[in-house]
Structure 1
Amino acid sequence: MSDRENSALPDWLRLQKALALEAEHGFNDLVGRQQRFSEFLRDSLQQPPHSLSSDEQAQWRSLADAFQAYRDLSFAKRQHLVADTRRSLYQCRCRLEADDSPTQQLSLQPPAAASQPTAQADRRKSPKTKDLVSPSLPSTRLPELDQPLTYLKGIGPKNSDRLAKLGLYSVRDVLYYYPRDHIDYARQVSIQALEPGETVTVVGTVKRCTCFNSPRNAKLTIFELLIRDHSAQLKISRFFAGSRYRNRGWQESQKRLYPVGAVVAASGLVKQNKYGLTLDDPDIEVLESAGGAIDSLTVGRVVPVYPLTEGVGADLVRRAVVAALPAAINIRDPLPAAIRNPYELIKLPVAIAHIHFPPDAESLAAARRRLVFDEFFYLQLGLLRRRQLQQRTPTDVVLAPTGELIDTFYQVLPFALTAAQQRVVNEILQDLQQPTPMNRLVQGDVGSGKTVVAVVAILAAIQAGYQAALMAPTEVLAEQHYRKLVGWFNLLHLPVELLTGSTRAAKRRQILAQLHSGELPLLVGTHALIEDPVQFQALGLVTIDEQHRFGVQQRARLQQKGQNPHVLTLTATPIPRTLALTLHGDLNVSQIDELPPGRKAIQTTLLTGRDRHHAYDLIRREIAQGRQIYVVLPLVDESEKLDLKSAIEEHQRLQDSIFPDFKVGLLHGRMSSAEKDQAITQFRDRQTHILVSTTVVEVGVDIPNASVMLIEHAERFGLSQLHQLRGRVGRGADQSYCLLMSATKNETAIQRLKVLEQSQDGFFISEMDLRFRGPGQVLGTRQSGLPDFALASLVEDQDVLVLARTAAEQIIAEDSTLELWPWLQAELDRRYQKLMGGAILT
């Protein structure tokens, strides 16, 4: 700062000293030689320096007004006002000094405790912080971003080997190793004001310190510290397990660390025990005086909590972060100001510094918001560029929107398409006429008629002389599709075949030969379709059902069977918009939001064990009227660890004891393909009245005569999965029922299940499932292509995701090549591939 500007500023040291003295003497509004403490602060803050921003000036005047009424405030409010003022003065001074620096805009020194931002804190050089860079030091002393951790001061080869277990090899790795949580020890309170459950810092004088062997446990050593402030006293205990702590010399050394009369700061979680309040396993630091600066990385501040692994302690990770943090000043912020400013995003180096050691809660929130935005932004930018690349890729597969096959299909259908189905068909046919490959996702609730829509697209490919493939995740679903398609294709005089892992060798050879020669226009199957021997003559359309159950590379391998074929993906698992943007940001999305006419809402009821007889009475009544029943369980065999019914046991119990007059069938995933097919055929042909099954029936089994779905241990399933299971009934004109049997007493689980009672809307249910369980469990597979975010949450950060998508669209609209922003291009290459594991780039 210039001398002229400096003369206009208040005496920072005098202000901070006054605040420190007030805190040291118990917030009693000290009387000085000329003024009271509150009067001095009021007068000093009423005239803020012109160098401050308008917001900062307004903040100073607001603090001045607060000190006007200081004497009328309670102890706690006085305490908070003094802490807020100290923090505000400290931040303003740092900001003014940083603005005046010609080479550096940010001090990456971990901040002093929020309640202790004294002038002494700016000058201190304790062993834990002396290696941190300050704005006045030359940049040559900064660690390099790509520098191995071995050469980082205070780390060395042994510690770098330990950090490698966390995937940390360079300074850059450490800076981007974000905390998984923060504990707020920044709030300093008096001992009398302690409340159980709070994380706080107390400052007091040592009255007694003892360290002794436990009389009850030979391997336990107890350390006790009694401290007192102006309001009360507090006993703090630490426990050390192990024979080495029984050494008298070690115990005496611990007592010498905290001599009687010393001032200490202690941070921890307040707990209530039989002796009163205490701090649980606290961090303790000795201060120079009651108003002295706190130098610790864990006492009196917001403390970062990092993901750890065996052999890597929290202290080591924090030390590595502190040593690496000065290098953050060298991180280029690739995000243009045109994006940062409208979305109120702080600069990247500041965000990196504050996500590790935030000076206060507001700084932490701003840092997290910026870094979450970045995670979403680069994902969306990558997806949009991928979509643009697809749109620029030409294809020779250009199909007509109508023709004899499609017209005949409409004639043989025993029903008319709904308005929603017709709208989606038109969107698909319009895509098929373009010179670039279609990449469209069709979302539709259970029973909305996605298969019919897909058949129209398949026929458009066949009538143009191309082949089509339909891939499903399970044999049950593939066989269901095949059976439905055979019925339609026979009327159109078209062949269709089924290829799964259970297809016999002779039949497989015949199918492959017909496929290669072009005689076979449509092949339905499972993962077997992507095997190397499967060769199409002219693959024009790929249709993938329940596509999130396949890995990205599996889907890509099927596409590679043709020359840029069109791709249509289907899902009966409605995905909330946030998940759709994350997983399918490069796709066009169509939604069938209308069920066929005449279907009644399924009556869904949550039952407990005492209601079981009501469920069985309903089953008997429905069977008497000629209808059929599903009973679904989560397990195949009995589990010793889980007290759950198994499908095999329940099948036997129902057949022998409960429904001996009815035929009870069994279906589960461990049965052979022939056994599964036989079980489904017998149920379809009404040879069995009740089908006991695992989640094999979740998708694909279409029995219009089934009217009751009884789900045992319903709390073990996700909402989306329960909705899928419920969709196996209600496929005819009769009233259908879904009975959710659960013995759980967990309030959250009960609340979750009641969502099914209240709603039939798959999109609403999946949104609630996302909030209850998170995206990984909703999708139900590690192969879903869900990105591995370090900070971002698809549940909590939905608004930031939408902003990031908008920003990415803005960038692509201005310059899709990113030539205007080479740093942005480099960061995209690094982040996008890492975020998606490289797989999505296929």
Structure 2
Amino acid sequence: MAELPDWIRLQKALSVEAETGFNDLQGHHKRFSEFLRDSLRHAPPYSTPMEQDRWRTLSEDFDKYSALTFAQRQHLVANTRRFLQESRQISERPQVAEATKSPVVAKSKRPKTKSLQATGGLRSKHPLEQSITYLKGIGPKNGERLAKLGLLTVRDVLFYYPRDYLDYARQVKIRDLKPGETVTIVGTVRRCNCFNSPRNAKLSIFELSLYDGTGTLKIGRFFAGARFRNRGWQERQKRMYPMGSTVAASGLVKKGKYGITLDDPDLEVLGDAQEEIDSDTVGRVVPVYPLTDGVPASLVRKAVVAALPAAVEIRDPFPTALREHHGLVQLPVAIAHIHFPPDNDALSLARRRLVFDEFFYLQLGLLSRRKQQQAQTQIRMAPTGELIDQFYEVLPFQLTGAQGRVVQEILVDLQETIPMNRLVQGDVGSGKTVVAVVAILAAIQAGYQAALMAPTEVLAEQHYRKLVGWFNLLHLPVELLTGSTKTAKRREIHSQLETGELPVLVGTHALIEDPVQFNRLGLVTIDEQHRFGVAQRAKLQRKGDNPHVLTLTATPIPRTLALTLHGDLDVSQIDELPPGRKPIQTTLLSGRDRNHAYDLIRREIAQGRQIYIVLPLVDESEKLDLRSAIEEHQRLSEVVFPEFKVGLLHGRLSSADKDAAITAFRDRHTQILVSTTVVEVGVDVPNASVMLIEHAERFGLSQLHQLRGRVGRGADQSYCLLMSSSKSDTALQRLRVLEQSQDGFFIAEMDLRFRGPGQVLGTRQSGLPDFALASLVNDQDVLELARGAAEELILQDSTLELWPLIKQELNRRYEKLMGGAIFT
């Protein structure tokens, strides 16, 4: 007999797939679609033949998932989530299954009650866990539409926060209307008409004229579709607003060619002008929710209004003392007021409480994870030894003060009996690799192996070359493993790793593949770690028995992002550049300055220097009027700089061609390298002195700062030229930040403010959690407050047994926020 499905894992899998953009997420052993296909292959034992067919059909649909369009994937995931929700309810109430013989209870069977209290059947579940199909005015069809937004239960609806508000609470006279304001007016109907457009056969027009003693306002609405051309429908519209009746209208004031009007307003008929407005939208602050195709705003608002009575069932996990200490309103009150605030103060307090919750549970999860990691024992590694001493002797330079300080912090960690988990932030060229090498040598001299993982082959090869140069002098072997490594060499590396002959392996994602088995992995070093997913980093750590972890980033992360992404890490900063480096002269240029830029390039090449020219696109685009790397390479080599050797580097080249382009530039066979952002990290050519970035407004500040760091790596004066044709004041103001500062941390803070955290870090792969309300830019004070509150609780009881409701809520929220590897 088939076993009951693992409902929780199935719903989590669907939830994570939706949150990560329907990309068929890769789990530990299976892709998302494979996991769903196999899980849905066998229906539960109580299923009817019709239901069994439905399970098989869904399984077959997920077998074809890779061939579906984005919209088809979205629809399939939404339908499956709704189907599983209903099937689970049936499994928990076998008497209902027996009575209905269908996973969907017939509409006529639904109890006719406005409350959400248990009344038997499916509705005997806790009110917050009720299916939204049982909310007044929703039903199965609307429930299917709302499932596209991930709204399956009453709890889902209550915790689906508005993204904005329209303030219709301000009532004004018609004569005082000003374009751009959202207002409510109350007037008497002078005229109402509904008719077919004489110019467009598919369009119907509704016109309403209101008078309030100060002026007349004409309101128009347009309806496209055959059913609106029906005279019966049009007459019904006219009867709703009879001559002389009083109507309240709320909307955005606009000025058109026929004068002032309200844009698509909400309307309510009143008994008289003094009657109180009783509407979900007219005359009040109206919530605006995130929507998707096929789900109108009115439907979401209807679901919220129907669900709000259940807010009283929400149990606030926070003890009264904690709430009062931090000035937080009760959770049920915050939920009610975030949807329909009675005033701005109530909205502010509600938002603060819910933002605090989002930050608090994230920080609590990170700190709890850190406590668990610290409970795992680890063999100590000595802070000194022959290998480290020899390395200092062969190193051709002295460590900077900042490098020395960070090295000591790492070596102290390695002496502890708990695994190190440290993030080292350092600006471009600050010398993070040298610091990592000291940690690697500490692991080797303690009898362990070390792994260094980088996000690209270019960066991995750069690290490998550096390590080979140093480790050859120390008589230590080191190997490189990437996707381009030949099969025979790959087998040799695997064998040497398993026997322990190979102490250090540098590589890309290839390091986390199953055939890679270490004999005794003691240290994991991850460079540009934010480019790896959470699961990828964790998989490399599982190659050893609780190894120490050192992560590096040349992308300075503001404190708010560091707390959010790395609240369970110790953070070190290399805030000093090696001596002799000159500040890079950065200049913002427009198209008319292009010849001046080319003159500088010619002067620098005449003095033996080399040049980078970076573009945002590989190929020419029909949609975007931007220069591309390929066409610009041809233009520069044939027209502008025919006397120089011009190389080309971009992500579509094979590994061999990339290596050839970089090697030719490094060996000075080419004077100019035209490239995409492939050169952002890992290309180290000290002789390069000019970085020209085309369409600089297309890049983030942190990315531009990274690109700028490709020059200025030698003793010569270097230049960064930001070429932009943008007329936007905001874009130009953003670029001038680079003219004014060389401080990567300041630039990262400004980038965060200009673009927000998601764009600063790039894709979801960065591990940045999704917040429904919280802003890492505007809510930094609440983040700090929540962090302190989480630390206090962990200090009092790291198991959270003293606060069972908080522990329960943490378990529910943390996995959803952080994603996590759930396909195991």
Normalised TM-score (structure 1):
0.82
Task: Tell me the CA shift for residue 618 of structure 1.
Answer: 0.4
Task: Please provide the CA RMSD for this pair.
Answer: 1.8
Residues 712-750 of structure 1, C-alpha deviation per residue, up to 9 Å, x if partnerless?
A: 111111111110000000001110000111111122211
Query: What does residue 510 of structure 2 align with?
Result: 528
1:125-274 matches, cutoff 5 A: 131=114, 144-274=127-257
1:217 alignment partner, SS class: coil
Does the Cα contact within 8 Å between 1:719 and 1:756 map onto a contact in 2? yes
Q: Output aligned runs, 1:693-842, within 5 Å.
A: 693-839=675-821
Other-structure match for 1:309: 292
Map of 2:19 onto structure 1: none
SS at match of 1:426: helix
Alpha-carbon shift at residue 419 of structure 1 (Å): 0.6
Counterpart residue type for residue 688 of structure 2: A
Query: How many angstroms does 1:459 deviate by?
Result: 0.5
Q: In 2, distance between residues paired with 1:141 and 1:660?
A: 80
Residue 340 of structure 1, CA deviation: 1.4
Query: Contact 1:712–1:740 at 8 Å: present in 2 too?
Result: yes
Aligned pairs (5 A) from 1:421-500:
421-500=403-482
Assess if the C-alpha contact under 8 Å between 1:266 and 1:284 holds in 2.
Answer: yes
For 1:143 and 1:153, locate their aligned partners in 2 and report how far apart those are by CA, in whole Å. Answer: 17
Q: 1:290 & 1:724 partners in 2: Cα distance? A: 63
Tell which deviates more after alignment, 493-502 or 641-650: 641-650
Query: Structure 1 stretch 280-289 or stretch 235-244: which is displaced more?
Result: 235-244
Question: How many Å separate the matches in 1 of 2:673 and 2:202?
Answer: 60
Out of 545, 552, 556, the residue aligned to residue 570 of structure 1 is 552
Match of 1:384 among 353, 367, 373: 367
Distance 1:143 1:198 in 2: 43
Offset of 1:141 from its aligned partner? 12
Corresponding residue of 2:338: 355
Helix, strand or coil at the partner of 2:459: helix
Whichever residue aligns with residue 428 of structure 1, its letter is I
Distance 1:339 1:592 in 2: 37
In the other structure, the counterpart of 1:291 is 274
| 8 Å contact kept, 2:116–2:127 | no
Secondary structure at the counterpart of residue 470 of structure 2: helix
Q: Which amino acid aligns with 1:229?
A: D
- Counterparts in 2 of 1:66-105, with a 5 A limit? none
Distance 1:834 1:677 in 2: 41
Give the secondary-structure state (helix, strand or coil) at the position aligned to 1:154. coil
Superposition deviation, residue 312 in structure 1: 2.0
Q: Deviations over 1:787-812 (max 9, x none)?
A: 01111111221221111111111111
TM-score, structure 2 normalization: 0.84
| Aligned mates of 2:566, 2:822 — CA distance in 1 | 11
Shift of 1:605: 0.7
Secondary structure of the 1:240 match is strand
Distance in 1 separating the partners of 2:670 and 2:195: 74
**Aligned residue number for residue 633 of structure 2:** 651
| Structure 1 range deviating more: 287-296 or 540-549 | 287-296
**Deviation by residue 1:97-136 (Cα, 9 ceiling, x = unmatched):** xxxxxxxxxxxxxxxxxxxxxxxxxxxxxxxxx94799xx
Q: Distance in 2 between matches of 1:540 and 1:600?
A: 38
User: Structure 1 residues 781, 155: CA separation in 2 closer, same or farther (over 3 Å shift)?
Assistant: closer
Q: 2: distance between equivalents of 1:809 and 1:763?
A: 26
The offset of 1:604, in angstroms, is 0.5
The whole-number CA distance in structure 1 between the counterparts of 2:498 and 2:226 is 75
**Which residue number corresponds to residue 99 of structure 1?**
none
Displacement of 1:838 in angstroms is 3.0
Match of 1:660 among 642, 661, 664: 642
Distance in 1 (alpha carbons) for counterparts of 2:198 and 2:570 = 71
Which range moves more in the overlay, 683-692 or 472-481?
A: 683-692
2-structure distance, mates of 1:185, 1:286 = 16
Deviation of residue 147 (structure 1)? 1.1
Give aligned pairs, total.
Answer: 707
Find out whether 1:611 has 2:593 as its counterpart.
yes
Q: CA deviation at 1:837?
A: 1.6
Q: Which amino acid aligns with 1:580?
A: A
For 2:225 and 2:774, locate their aligned partners in 1 and report how far apart those are by CA, in whole Å.
41
Q: Name the CA distance, whole Å, in 2 between partners of 1:821 and 1:445.
A: 42
**SS of residue in 1 equivalent to 2:326:** coil
Equivalent residue letter for 1:303? V
Question: Is the CA contact (8 Å cut-off) linking 2:613 and 2:675 kept in structure 1?
Answer: yes
Aligned partner of residue 165 in structure 1, secondary structure: helix
- Partners in 2 of 1:319 and 1:328 — Cα distance? 15
Show CA shifts across 1:426-463 (max 9, x none): 00000000001000000000000000000000000111
Q: Give the 3 Å change call, closer, same or farther, for CA 141–674 of structure 1 in structure 2.
A: closer
- Whose radius of gyration is greater, 1 or 2? 1
Conserved in 1, the CA contact under 8 Å of 2:534 and 2:820? Answer: no
**In the alignment, which of 571, 576, 580 is matched to residue 598 of structure 1?**
580
Kindly indicate whether the alpha-carbon contact (under 8 Å) linking 2:455 and 2:509 is maintained by their aligned counterparts in 1: yes
CA contact (8 A) 2:165 2:285 kept: yes
1:69-101 CA distance string (max 9 Å, x none):
xxxxxxxxxxxxxxxxxxxxxxxxxxxxxxxxx
Change in CA separation of 1:696 and 1:133 when aligned onto 2, cut-off 3 Å: closer
Structure 2 residues without counterparts, runs of 5 or longer: 1-112, 118-122
Partner of 1:278: 261
Partner residue in 2 for 1:512: 494
Distance 1:839 1:577 in 2: 26
* Matching residue's letter, 1:808: A
Code of the residue aligned with 1:359 in structure 2: it is P
Partner AA of 1:210 in structure 2: N
Secondary structure of 1:245's counterpart equals: helix
Give the corresponding residue for 1:366: 349
Question: Does the residue aligned with 1:145 lie in a helix, a strand or coil?
Answer: helix
1:631 and 2:598 are equivalent in the alignment? no
In 1, Cα distance between the equivalents of 2:725 and 2:115? 57
Note the C-alpha offset of 1:154.
Answer: 2.2
Provide, for residues 580-611 of structure 1, a one-character-per-residue CA deviation record: whole Å limited to 9, x for no partner. 00000000000000111111110001111111
Match in the other structure for 1:329: 312
Cα contact 1:210–1:225 (8 A) shared by 2: yes
Query: How far 1:351 moved relative to its partner?
Result: 0.7
CA contact (8 A) 1:214 1:222 kept: yes
Structure 1 position 381, deviation (Å): 0.5
